[in-house]
């Protein structure tokens, strides 16, 4: 149906900052937000979503997630970064065949939608063969989630192989009818060394792609600056050890930051630099990173960011619940390069929104709805999810997917990839 209206809900918008609009309607036409207001007129054929007892707000944006790891959830509780590199990337990743990637990637994308995450930046470092890549892309397309596919070349063809495959993936993404865009997921100077980093950033520039990279210390940033590569839009993941001068340089060159507070705290990657980066003007989003050792929902991430930032003395204003929600929505969309597409309820944007139940014991009588979303809600409150105006979850259940069959396949994948050799 071309027109849809969400009626009777308590609406929170996030542009320019999180604000409770009150009980207004959200009119959707052609997959985009057409209007917000009380008692909006609509066509008799419009589908009506009754949002009574619900909080309506933009869908969450996860700015850093290894989506393919859904089949190895909690394989490394209480783990460390060296343990992750050894067990997950060294042992378990190579055990995944393309069919395992399709199953796990689809399950991971549906996990996002089920939890109200309508957009995910998928940092996909499982591209051992074109078959693995195609499996990951197909799963994202089938899921219905809005995704930025962060392509990290994992083949053995060197720079020429990386270039050929990245061009092929770019053509696939450009032709896809799904809400799919692409970034180059670079291993960068801190992981792969300077020669590979030069090839990655130059390729991103040639293909007009943004970069997303695990990088958080000054030597890497200095290297990019020295080689004239900071003009390439870059998202820095785990940017916890940049100096204040480095943070300002990122802001001045149009960069952004992805904080994964749960994993950064759990794996001792450094205290998330949330407040310091945002104070420097760096758009900063939240990410789940890996479900091998941490939570995969935005409610947990908002709370982790909120509590960790408020736990340390700050020279300026304290981090607030509104700040956390902004990072999870519009600021996350800016971080992902999608601020004109999603992250708020501004008319003209794609209709990515969620309805949260406010009629539960944990949510009822909340005096501050924004604080309730950040500090009281959880995945069980996610009632309805729309991406581009299409309903992906209704009345607490995902639609258009045979979830029991998928979870059976996921269990088989999990057993196969973790079985002793």
pLDDT truncated to tens, each residue of the chain (421 aa)?
A: 589 999 999 999 999 999 999 999 999 999 999 999 999 999 999 999 999 999 999 999 999 999 999 999 999 999 999 999 999 999 999 999 999 999 999 999 999 999 999 999 999 999 999 999 999 999 999 999 999 999 999 999 999 999 999 999 999 999 999 999 999 999 999 999 999 999 999 999 999 999 999 999 999 999 999 999 999 999 999 999 999 999 999 999 999 999 999 999 999 999 999 999 999 999 999 999 999 999 999 999 999 999 999 998 665 678 999 999 999 999 999 999 999 999 999 999 999 999 999 999 999 999 999 999 999 999 999 999 999 999 999 999 999 999 999 999 999 999 999 998 7
Task: Check residue 314 and give its pLDDT.
Answer: 65
Task: Check residue 339 and give its pLDDT.
Answer: 98
Task: Check residue 316 and give its pLDDT.
Answer: 62
DSSP-derived 3-state class of residue 54: strand
Start-to-end C-alpha separation, the chain: 51
* CATH no. of 3-58+349-395: 2.30.40.10
Q: Choose the CATH number for 60-335 among 3.30.70.270, 1.10.3720.10, 3.20.20.140, 3.60.21.10.
A: 3.20.20.140
Domain spans of the chain? 3-58+349-395, 60-335
Task: List, in order, residues 6 or more apart from 289 with CB less than 8 Å away.
Answer: 64, 65, 66, 260, 262, 263
What is the maximum alpha-carbon separation in the chain? 63
Picking from 297, 302, 234, the residue whose alpha carbon sits closest to that of residue 272 is 302
DSSP-derived 3-state class of residue 338: coil
CA 35 from chain centre, in angstroms, equals 26
DSSP-derived 3-state class of residue 8: coil
**How far apart, in whole angstroms, are the C-alpha atoms of residue 261 and residue 96?**
27
Around 163, how many Cα atoms within 13 Å sit in the side-chain half-sphere? 11
Task: Check residue 315 and give its pLDDT.
Answer: 56
Task: Check residue 421 and give its pLDDT.
Answer: 72
Note if the pTM is more than 0.95: yes
């Amino acid at each position: 149906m071309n027109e849809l209206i969400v009626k009777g809900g308590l609406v929170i918008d996030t542009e320019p900052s999180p604000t409770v609009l009150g009980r207004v309607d959200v009119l959707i036409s052609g997959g985009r937000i057409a209007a917000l207001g009380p008692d909006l007129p609509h066509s008799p054929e419009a589908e009506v979503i009754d949002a009574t007892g619900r909080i309506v707000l933009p869908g969450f944006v996860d700015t850093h997630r290894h989506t393919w790891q859904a089949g190895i959830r909690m394989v490394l509780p209480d783990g460390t970064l060296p343990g992750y590199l050894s067990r997950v990337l060294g042992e378990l990743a190579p055990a995944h065949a393309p069919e395992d990637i399709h199953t796990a990637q689809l399950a991971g994308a549906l996990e996002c939608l089920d939890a109200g995450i309508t957009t995910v930046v998928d940092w996909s470092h499982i591209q051992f063969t074109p078959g693995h890549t195609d499996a990951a892309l197909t799963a994202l397309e089938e899921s219905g989630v809005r995704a930025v596919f962060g392509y990290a070349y994992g083949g053995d063809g060197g720079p020429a192989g990386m270039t050929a495959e990245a061009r092929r993936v770019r053509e696939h993404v450009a032709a896809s009818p799904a809400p799919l865009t692409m970034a180059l997921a670079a291993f960068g100077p801190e992981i792969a060394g300077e020669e590979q980093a030069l090839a990655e950033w130059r390729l991103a520039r040639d293909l007009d792609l943004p970069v997303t990279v695990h990088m958080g210390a000054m030597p890497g940033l200095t290297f990019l600056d020295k080689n004239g590569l900071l003009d390439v839009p870059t998202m820095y993941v785990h940017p916890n050890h940049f100096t204040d001068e480095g943070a300002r340089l990122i802001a001045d060159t149009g960069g952004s930051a992805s904080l994964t507070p749960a994993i950064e705290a759990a794996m001792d990657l450094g205290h998330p630099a949330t407040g310091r980066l945002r104070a420097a003007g760096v758009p900063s989003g939240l990410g789940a990173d890996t479900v091998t050792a941490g939570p995969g929902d935005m409610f947990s991430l908002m709370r982790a960011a909120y509590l960790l930032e408020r736990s340390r003395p700050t020279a300026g204003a304290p981090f607030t619940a509104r700040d956390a929600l902004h990072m999870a929505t519009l600021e996350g969309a800016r971080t992902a390069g999608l601020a004109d597409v999603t992250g708020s309820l501004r008319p003209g944007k794609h209709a990515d929104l969620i309805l949260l139940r406010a009629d539960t014991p944990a949510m009822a009588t909340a005096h501050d709805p924004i604080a309730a979303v950040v500090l009281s809600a959880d995945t069980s409150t996610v009632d309805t999810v729309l991406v581009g105006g299409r309903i992906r979850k209704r009345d607490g259940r995902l639609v258009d997917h045979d979830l029991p069959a998928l979870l059976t396949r996921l269990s088989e994948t999990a057993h196969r990839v973790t079985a002793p050799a």
